[in-house]
Amino acid sequence: MNKYSVSRLAVKNAVARLGLTNVQAPNALIKYAQGSSFVWSLESTSGNQAVYDNYNERVRLVIAENGTVLDVFPIDFALQTPSNLSEDVRQSLKESTKETLIAKRDETHRKWCEAELAFHETSYEIAKLRLELIDASTGEAAALNSRLADLCADNKRLHEDRSALRKERTELERALVPYI
């Protein structure tokens, strides 16, 4: 688990934007950072920073490369504050965000389906080889075992790929919930 620290500005903003107390804010921000997912990178003159979302707590964090939480917002801060944006801009932003998330989710789902299909094809090949091993002679068994070892390694990699894609798809679906 990454070690995080919290800036004074982040504490001040957490008090103002999230309703936390000065005592609660540092620990809460560290907890939020530990449960957050990377969203995008920010180029900054003071070093690399990135935006992270914690979907469970519904907060967006700006975290520096060194692990310092620099700022915190409610996840849909710009959409909540009427003085920040006009209604047309808010609706446009909401729609474009929704469309982008749906497109990313669909692309990830397609990749997951392809990985799932490849995994099951490899599993089928493994089952066929194991069936052939039952009646194989000693010489044939060595070749079949070698092929079986290769297929099992491929299957493990495919399983890890499909699990990662399923996790990514789930995170995108969670991010999409506020826009539906």
The closest of 154, 174, 180 to 39, measured between CA atoms, is: 174
The rounded mean pLDDT for the chain is 82
Pairing of strands 68-74, 5-6: parallel
Please indicate whether the domains covering 5-75 and 87-179 agree at the CATH topology level.
no
- Asked if 62 and 70 count as a contact pair (C-beta separation under 8 A), the reply is yes
Fill in the DSSP letter of residue 9. Answer: H
pTM: 0.52
pLDDT, residue 156, reads 94
What are the structural domain ranges in the chain? 5-75, 87-179
Q: If you classify domain 5-75 with CATH, what class do you get?
A: alpha beta
The mean pLDDT value for 129-154 works out to 90
- Asked if 117 and 95 count as a contact pair (C-beta separation under 8 A), the reply is no
pLDDT tens digits along 49-64: 778 888 888 888 888 8
The span from the CA of 151 to the CA of 124, in Å, is 10
Cβ-count burial of 35 within 10 angstroms (0-12 exposed, 13-18 middle, 19+ buried)?
A: middle
Stronger pLDDT, 49 or 93, i.e. the higher one: 49
How many CB atoms sit inside 10 A of residue 63's CB? Answer: 27
- Asked if 111 and 99 count as a contact pair (C-beta separation under 8 A), the reply is no
Tell me: pLDDT of 89 over 70.
no
pLDDT tens digits along 4-39: 888 888 888 888 888 888 888 888 888 888 888 777
The mean pLDDT value for 42-55 works out to 71
Name the architecture of domain 87-179: Orthogonal Bundle (1.10)
pLDDT, residue 82, reads 47
Q: Of 19-33, 93-107, 116-130, 159-173, which has the strongest mean pLDDT?
A: 116-130
Tell me: pLDDT of 77 over 90.
no
Tell me: pLDDT of 79 over 90.
no
The span from the CA of 53 to the CA of 56, in Å, is 9
